[in-house]
Amino acid sequence: MKLKSLGLAAWLLGTCALATPALAQVNIGLLAGITGGAAAMAPEIIKSYEFAVKQVNDQGGILNGQKLVGNVADSGCKPQVAADAATKLVNVSRVIGIAGPMCSGALLAAANSATIPAGVLLISPAATSPEITTLKDNDLVFRTVPSDEYQGQALARTLLSRGTQTVAVSFINNDYGKGIAAAFKKEFEAKGGKITAFAGHEESKSSYRSDLAELAKGGADTLVLLDYGDTSGLTILREAIENGFFKNFVGAEGMKTSAPIKAFGAENLSTFIASAPIPAKSQALDIFNAAFSKAGGDVNGSYVAPSFDAVFLLALAIEKAGGDKTKLPQSLRAVTSGKGEPIMPGEWKKAKELIAAGKEIDYKGASGSVNFDERGDVPGSYGLFKVSGSDYEVITEMK
């Protein structure tokens, strides 16, 4: 037995040594929950990651014309899978930075057991749990998506300012739904709104009509549905519209996907609005949307803009740090300080030249300001959207 495991260790060591990449490329990890609970979002996120990698390589590559290689790995939306994948990325693929993972539990495990001890920079585009804010991360964990805390509050204020005083709240019982619902409730009630019903639900039940009947009892005609638009959120929205439980529906960025439009048609979604951590109007977003849809991406895919930003920022930080792993966090802060020549999404060549010339640059994210605070969070700017045709259209900016 012992001999066997020794032999095994030797074999593994051998494979790892062989797998060490050649020096003509720079490796980064692209983690996404390809399998598991959030798998429906993964394809577009990966497309967005790889779109960013392609833009870097098409415009002269990274550092001295080296190729940026994105190693896609599955975080499974599960802590064990994510920790395993991150360990492989860090130690076998030998990446110097990672974009992802998507789920907060997966991020906590991957960061704690692999990337933080290894000193590898990690930028998540979709993990929104407030727990990540307080992680002891040696300044190695960042995210391009704001914490749920902010979005829940912003949504509450926006609804009140639009004259909605009474709502029922239904949230998916996971870290995302629970976090954002709690923040919403606190802010909404503090500012004088009334919540008639507040209930969580499990995903993947096939009928939620009894849940909806309970929620509708209090007499609110607006349902705040904090869920994902391609899983149980879709079912609930369908059943609520079909049975006329509520008149108006409000979602957050999890609901703002193409799935409801595809499933119900825009004509049935005239009273559906959703918030998203996307600025109501920004030149950076327009540039990204145009380029990404030209490349065959779905600009309404969940978290595609933050995903692009995560990879693009990683590349900028690597360029700025000259490929030195230990300097990545400070370089990342340097390219997002808010000072210097603005860089739009996709302007890799310009950024590269400016960095080479020793000038300050400031990246303008497609997902809004990516000026990180001292804990690696972004402040977040939000827009409120409604359905128009087969697409979402901005109604107003959220504060």
Partner 1 sequence: MDIFSFVNFFLLPGVVQGSIYALGAIGITLIYAIMRYGHFAHGDLATFGAFTALFVAGLLGLSPYAALPVAVVVAALLAIAIDWLFYAHLRRMPKIITTIASFGVALMLRSVVQIIWGVDTTSYTRGISRPENWFGIRVKPHELVTLLVVIGLVIALHLFLTRNKWGKAMRAMSDNPDLALLSGIDNNKVIAMTWVIAGGLCAASGFFLGLNTELRSLMGWNILLPTFAAAILGGVGRIEGAIVGGLVVGVTEELSVLVIPSEYKMLSSFAILLVVLLLRPTGLFRGKIL
Partner 2 sequence: MDWLSFTIYPVYLMIFMCIYGCLAIGLNIQWGYAGLFNAGLAGFFAVGAYTSAILTTSEAAGRLGGFDLPFPFGLAGAMIVSGLIAWPVGKICLRFRSDYLAIVTIGVAEAIRLVAKTEDWLTNSARGITGVPRPLGDLPYAQAQLAYLAIVGLILIVVYLLIERQAHAPWGRMMRAIRDNERAAVAMGKNVPVRRLEAFMLGSALMGLAGGLYVHLARTITPDAIDPMLVTFLVWIMVILGGSGNNRGVLLGAVIVWIIWSASEIVTDQLPAEFALKAKYGRMFLIGLLLQIVLRFRPEGLLPEKLRRAPLSEGALSPTGHGARIQAPHKEI
| Binding-residue total with partner 1 (CB under 8 A) | 34
CB-based contacts of 240, cutoff 8 Å, min separation 6: 212, 223, 225, 246, 249
Which is nearest to 316 in space by CA: 97, 24, 48? Answer: 97
- Buried b / exposed e along 343-368 (16+ C-beta atoms within 10 A): bbbbbbeebbebbeeeeebbbbbbbb
User: Which of 80, 207, 293, 326 forms a contact with partner 1 (CB under 8 A)?
Assistant: 207
As a whole number of Å, the CA-based R_g of the chain is: 22
Task: Report the nearest approach of partner 2 to the CB of residue 141 (Å).
Answer: 12
* Region 16-35 residues binding partner 1, contact defined as CB under 8 A: 35
Residue 57 φ/ψ, nearest 5 degrees: -70, -35
User: Which of 118, 280, 394, 395 forms a contact with partner 2 (CB under 8 A)?
Assistant: 118
Q: How many residues does the chain have?
A: 399
Nearer to partner 1, 207 or 326 (CB): 207
Nearer to partner 2, 35 or 66 (CB): 35
Task: Report the nearest approach of partner 2 to the CB of residue 110 (Å).
Answer: 9
Q: Which stretch binds partner 1 (CB under 8 A): 38-46, 161-169, 276-284, 374-382?
A: 38-46
Q: Does 193 bind partner 2 (CB under 8 A)?
A: no
The dihedral sign for the CA sequence 16, 19, 22, 28: negative
Q: Does 238 bind partner 1 (CB under 8 A)?
A: yes
Please report, in angstroms and rounded to a whole number, the separation of the first and last CA atoms in the chain. Answer: 63
The dihedral sign for the CA sequence 144, 150, 155, 158: negative
With contact defined as beta carbons under 8 Å apart, do 145 and 383 qualify? no
Per DSSP, the chain holds a count of helices (H) and strands (E) of 14, 14
Q: Does 179 bind partner 2 (CB under 8 A)?
A: yes
User: Which of 27, 59, 66, 113 forms a contact with partner 2 (CB under 8 A)?
Assistant: 113
Nearer to partner 1, 74 or 137 (CB): 74
Give the DSSP letter of residue 86: H
Q: Does 63 bind partner 2 (CB under 8 A)?
A: no
Q: Does 242 bind partner 1 (CB under 8 A)?
A: yes
Tokens describing residue 45: 């996120």
Q: Does 379 bind partner 1 (CB under 8 A)?
A: no
Nearer to partner 1, 201 or 320 (CB): 201
Q: Does 24 bind partner 2 (CB under 8 A)?
A: no
| Binding-residue total with partner 2 (CB under 8 A) | 63
Omega of the bond leading into 101 within 30 degrees of 0 (cis)? yes
User: Which of 96, 107, 180, 234 forms a contact with partner 1 (CB under 8 A)?
Assistant: 234
Task: Report the nearest approach of partner 2 to the CB of residue 163 (Å).
Answer: 32
Q: Does 322 bind partner 2 (CB under 8 A)?
A: no
Mode of pairing for the β-strands spanning 194-201 and 222-226: unpaired
DSSP string over 198-231 = EEEE-TT-S--HHHHHHHHTT--SEEEEES-TTT
- With CB under 5 to 8 Å by kind, the binding choice for 138 among partner 2, partner 1, none is none
The H-or-E segment that residue 74 falls in is strand 67-74
Residue 122 φ/ψ, nearest 5 degrees: -130, 130
Q: Does 328 bind partner 2 (CB under 8 A)?
A: no
Q: Cα dist. 237→112, 153, 197, 219 in Å?
A: 37, 22, 16, 18
Q: Does 88 bind partner 2 (CB under 8 A)?
A: yes
* Region 202-241 residues binding partner 2, contact defined as CB under 8 A: 202
**Residues within the interface to partner 1 (CB under 8 A):** 35, 39-40, 43, 173, 199-202, 204-207, 209-214, 217, 230-231, 234-235, 238, 241-243, 259, 262-265, 268
Task: Enumerate binding residues for partner 2 (CB under 8 A).
Answer: 1, 4-5, 8-9, 12-13, 15-17, 19, 34-37, 43, 46, 50, 71-74, 77-81, 83-85, 87-88, 90-94, 103-106, 108-109, 112-113, 117-119, 129-131, 134-136, 173-179, 200, 202
